[in-house]
Structure 1
Amino acid sequence: MESLTKELRCRKSALKPIQITKRNNITNHNGTDDGIASDEEEPLSPAARLFHEPNFNIYIIAILAFKNPIDVRVVYEKLPQTLLKHPRFSSLQVVDDKNGGIMKWVPTNVNLDNHIIIPNIPQTLETPDKFLEEYLYNLSKTSIDSSQPMWDLHLLNLKTSDETEAMGILRVHHSLGDGTSLMSLLLACTRQTSNPDAVPTVPTNKASKAGWFSSYSYRGGGPWWQRCFMTFCMVWWLVWNTLVDVGHFMATALFLEDTETPIKAPVGVELNPKRFAYRTVSLDDMKLIKNAMNVTINDVAIGVTQAGLSQYLNRRYGEGQKDEGATEKKNNLPKKKIRLRSTLLINIRPSSGIQALADMMEKNTEAKWGNWIGFVILPLTVGIRDDPLDYVRDAKATTERKKHSLEALYSFSVASMVLKLFHIKAANTPLTHTTLGFSNLVGPQEEIGFYGHVIDFIAPSCYGHPHGLMINFQSCVNKMTIVLSVDENTIPDPQRLLDDFEASLKLMKEAVYAKALAQGRGGHA
């Protein structure tokens, strides 16, 4: 696998000189990193520049598992008609020395041979899964040369234990966009297998479209004065939560660090290569828990994360001891409460939507784009619970409170100000003082194909982040894929952690069935 790193480095040295051109077929749009239709040079947004810092040089990776072998010829044919019509994927990031070293987006010609990578795969492989793992690990040791648009697509006709026939690995530098926007763009390049002319549909949050005031306005019955009073209370709750979260955010940025645990990586971990591991579980099982407890899928995902991390830490703290089974009263976790928090990168601007991005690629229309990212610090419960559903209840209480806070908007504003006025490295200190990163992205509701290649599941992740652990949940039809990006010195056994996640979900499902059975017996009595 060392040949992969050498091959990618050779590709860099063989790159042709930068060729810059103007695109005349793209609509003009004024602003900085707001629109994706422009033929003018635009400066990178502060957030995009942040992702070029040595200690925050992050790449997003999306693993696409296909049910049929990849036809490379079709990929070469379709990419110019879709992805390359997005200006960020056909632009260079050039430093303008004449204007104080500002980085700008400059349109350029794209040579697909520099972006589509087809590795040599031995005809006989005893462990294809290991080959894929090592390939991803070695990929995380490399970067994309800035003399070309900062993305590439790796095509592997490799059959794995997931019973998939091929794998595609789309690697994109985080400066090109946030995770939500990039996932929407990827899905806009796909079509439903049952209707080749239709883009995928994803579940939407109707409340988010109602506007800020209506989201915090009381819409119940009663006289006008009662409605006004309830609205005032909800707005006050929003203000109070925001003030508390802002104070917590500032304390974290300045001095408040998480408890030192076996999964908290040391400073400098962002420079280490990452191991990637994933596990696909049933989305229907998560929906069962969601409906039984009247929560969201995100609450279930966070609940599973809290339960799995608690079991994993209990085992790590108890290494060398006899495993007699952990209970709420008897376990290996420290008696002192563990402060363990996750950093969520939130897209504070609503996504343009899949259809808008598809229209942009087909009709050269405008669509909003860019890294508009705010930080949210999410405290996670660490502890053994006799009732596994308690993890989901804790998650619901935490997320409900975070929904009624403007922490993400505040952190975006502060980070932008710090990037402009002070040393750019200070903007990511909230991440370095927390333990892990977390995200939960919504995928398609129906089976889709990427240029005719049917997708079995999607597994997004990243490397270059200042955490020893990144957890991503990604849905796709009736599957949920849990993806880990880990520093192997911090978490040497990511598959064991995935086992804990899967076992926790199973226990929650069994607890829901047991509760329903008990209620049924009570009703008959």
Structure 2
Amino acid sequence: MGSKLQIKTEYKDEDTEDEPVSPTGQYFNSKTMSVRVLGILESEISIDTSCAVPLLQELFLPINPRFSSIMVSDKKGVKKWKRVEVNLPDHVNIPNFPEGLSPEAYDDYFDEYLTEIAMKPLPSDRPLWDIHLITYPTSKAAGHLIFKLHHALGDGFSLMGALLSCMQRADNPSMPLTFPMLQPTSKANSKPVDDVGCLPKTLSVTYNTTCDFGWSFLKSSLIADDKTPIRSGGDGVEFHPVQISTIALSLDQIKQIKTNIGATINDVLTGIIFFGTRLYMQATGRDFCNSESTALVLLNTRNIDGYKSIHEMVKNDSETKWGNQFAFMHVALPALIDNKSSTPLEFISEAKEIIKRKKNSLGVYLTGQSLELIRKCRGPEVAAQFIHSTLQKSTMTVSSMIGPVEKMALANHECKGLYFMVVGVPQSLTITVLSYMRTIRIAIGVEKGYIDEQKFKSCIENAFQLIYKAAVKN
């Protein structure tokens, strides 16, 4: 791995011009913020490090010119993606741990290494990504492959699409990966428009939009959440070490809850996360059970029903194209009072109603337009400061992705598990959710030394068990 291998990926002539950096890409890689994404693949077998550089050359770099570009500013201060030659070995990291330890002992080394790379910025003088190959077995896998990518390269939809384009079905490589079907549009939404019936709906949307936009603006600029056991509220939280751990839940059991109570999978997962979070706050101190705590739920703003091919994502189509196309939705965590502990399904119902009302408004759209107005009038750095303030004044971020139904393989390394984490955000708690095969993987990133990671995991697992028992009983 010590030899130097220069790779200049060939693209079509029309792709060779420097591409402007999107506004969101500028926000995430600014003086105010540097947000990265970690994608962790758990391998069934030990990692063969010799195939890393050839695979990056043949599969990864051709996906998008941004993987062979650095971010630069022109004479007018406009940021662009500038194509460069990529020295692939510079991007490949293979740590050395002590030999001959047990998988449980390597768990600690892996966790510490994950914390270390999560907090380390990506060098700005080379393309904004790295990979890390962990060749030591842990209790969860025989080896790990970690993709570290700057969020300026794209959002979860784009980066997950890039990752999946490198994978094959383990059972039949000639067949494409498939994904869970999204919930179909309800028949009510397909009925002809009734002018009389539209009036109450229009009034409802107008009212919800006014409330949501006003509240979101105040939460982003003036009103901060309470300081709690899950929100330290200090300056520079994004520079504090983060501890990352995961919880695996049965997708079949989640679907059983969904069916029994007439909710969606997202409703169930949101309810579990919110309920578990409140249980942790209650276990730390009852005064925190009804504190002002807000979650920023990330929404994909593409009007599509699943992943598209890389060819479709790189073409100039506003609905499918590569980039950062998402928005934040402020969702207040329901308070946990005494009777909520005995009726945990009410937590899902409240979360469902809150999110339903939020979606029945144009608040997210207006917030996005306001951010764009700030960028045009005062520049991207001021807009980045506004996003930083939005994150800092809230309590937690929740984002979710859909993974394939079948087991995947990369260069004959079957993927046992898969999860991701967003790091570099000014919050003490970040939660991500990813489905893979028949499992829901909840990844938890906590401010190390402030949140008890094991206790928090236990509260999420307890919330799931309480909700499952209540749903099955019904």
Deviation sequence 1:301-323 (CA, Å, 0-9, x none): 11111111111111111xxxxxx
- Following the alignment from structure 1 to structure 2, what is the Cα–Cα distance between the partners of residues 345 and 15? 40
- Following the alignment from structure 1 to structure 2, what is the Cα–Cα distance between the partners of residues 75 and 358? 23
- Following the alignment from structure 1 to structure 2, what is the Cα–Cα distance between the partners of residues 156 and 26? 35
- Give the drift of 1:496: 1.2
Q: Does 1:198 align with 2:166?
A: no
8 Å Cα contact 2:28/2:34 also seen in 1: yes
Q: Does 1:433 align with 2:393?
A: yes
Larger Rg: 1
- Give the drift of 1:27: 6.2
Q: Give TM-score scaled by structure 2 length.
A: 0.90
Which of 427, 437, 454 matches 1:495? 454
- Give the drift of 1:287: 1.1
- Following the alignment from structure 2 to structure 1, what is the Cα–Cα distance between the partners of residues 179 and 13? 28
Deviation sequence 1:4-48 (CA, Å, 0-9, x none): xxxxxxx9xx999xx997x763363xxxxxxxxx22112211111
Matched AA of 1:251: L
Deviation sequence 1:203-227 (CA, Å, 0-9, x none): 343657xxxxxx998534xxx7x83
- Following the alignment from structure 1 to structure 2, what is the Cα–Cα distance between the partners of residues 246 and 111? 46
Matched AA of 2:458: D
Q: Does 1:407 align with 2:363?
A: yes
Which deviates the most, 170-179 or 397-406?
397-406
Which residue of structure 2 lines up, in the alignment, with residue 295 of structure 1?
263
Matches within 5 A, 1:34-53: 38-53=15-30
Which residue of structure 1 lines up, in the alignment, with residue 348 of structure 2?
392
Q: Does 1:507 align with 2:466?
A: yes
Which residue of structure 2 lines up, in the alignment, with residue 444 of structure 1?
404
8 Å Cα contact 2:4/2:87 also seen in 1: no
Deviation sequence 1:413-450 (CA, Å, 0-9, x none): 22222233222413432221111111121111111112
Which residue of structure 1 lines up, in the alignment, with residue 328 of structure 2?
375
- Following the alignment from structure 1 to structure 2, what is the Cα–Cα distance between the partners of residues 203 and 65? 21
Which residue of structure 1 lines up, in the alignment, with residue 444 of structure 2?
484
Which residue of structure 2 lines up, in the alignment, with residue 238 of structure 1?
205
Which residue of structure 2 lines up, in the alignment, with residue 138 of structure 1?
116
- Give the drift of 1:232: 4.0
Structure 2 gaps of 5+ residues are none
Which residue of structure 1 lines up, in the alignment, with residue 65 of structure 2?
87
- Residue 151 to residue 202, structure 1, CA distance change in 2 (3 Å): same
Structure 1 gaps of 5+ residues are 1-10, 29-37, 209-214, 318-331, 516-525
- Following the alignment from structure 2 to structure 1, what is the Cα–Cα distance between the partners of residues 330 and 161? 24
Matched AA of 2:150: H
Matched AA of 1:313: M
Which of 203, 227, 245 matches 1:277? 245
- Give the drift of 1:260: 2.1
- Following the alignment from structure 1 to structure 2, what is the Cα–Cα distance between the partners of residues 53 and 25? 28
Which residue of structure 2 lines up, in the alignment, with residue 259 of structure 1?
226
- Following the alignment from structure 1 to structure 2, what is the Cα–Cα distance between the partners of residues 396 and 188? 33
Which residue of structure 2 lines up, in the alignment, with residue 31 of structure 1?
none
- Following the alignment from structure 1 to structure 2, what is the Cα–Cα distance between the partners of residues 380 and 289? 20
- Following the alignment from structure 1 to structure 2, what is the Cα–Cα distance between the partners of residues 217 and 229? 15
Question: What is the identity percentage for the equivalent residue pairs of Structure 1 and Structure 2?
Answer: 29
- Residue 104 to residue 243, structure 1, CA distance change in 2 (3 Å): same
Which residue of structure 2 lines up, in the alignment, with residue 33 of structure 1?
none
8 Å Cα contact 2:313/2:321 also seen in 1: no
Which residue of structure 2 lines up, in the alignment, with residue 106 of structure 1?
82
8 Å Cα contact 1:188/1:354 also seen in 2: no
Which residue of structure 2 lines up, in the alignment, with residue 182 of structure 1?
159
- Following the alignment from structure 2 to structure 1, what is the Cα–Cα distance between the partners of residues 146 and 465? 30
- Give the drift of 1:390: 1.2
Deviation sequence 1:155-183 (CA, Å, 0-9, x none): 11222212x21111110011001122212
Which residue of structure 1 lines up, in the alignment, with residue 136 of structure 2?
158
Partner-residue secondary structure (3-state), 1:140: helix
- Give the drift of 1:360: 7.2
Which residue of structure 1 lines up, in the alignment, with residue 190 of structure 2?
219
8 Å Cα contact 1:188/1:355 also seen in 2: no
Matched AA of 2:49: V
Which residue of structure 1 lines up, in the alignment, with residue 37 of structure 2?
60
Matched AA of 1:405: S
Q: Give TM-score scaled by structure 1 length.
A: 0.81
Deviation sequence 1:199-254 (CA, Å, 0-9, x none): 3222343657xxxxxx998534xxx7x83322443344333322221111111122
- Give the drift of 1:187: 1.6
Q: How many residues align?
A: 460
- Following the alignment from structure 2 to structure 1, what is the Cα–Cα distance between the partners of residues 169 and 351? 33
- Following the alignment from structure 1 to structure 2, what is the Cα–Cα distance between the partners of residues 483 and 24? 37
- Residue 360 to residue 108, structure 1, CA distance change in 2 (3 Å): farther
Which deviates the most, 180-189 or 286-295?
180-189
- Following the alignment from structure 2 to structure 1, what is the Cα–Cα distance between the partners of residues 288 and 89? 54
- Residue 118 to residue 351, structure 1, CA distance change in 2 (3 Å): farther
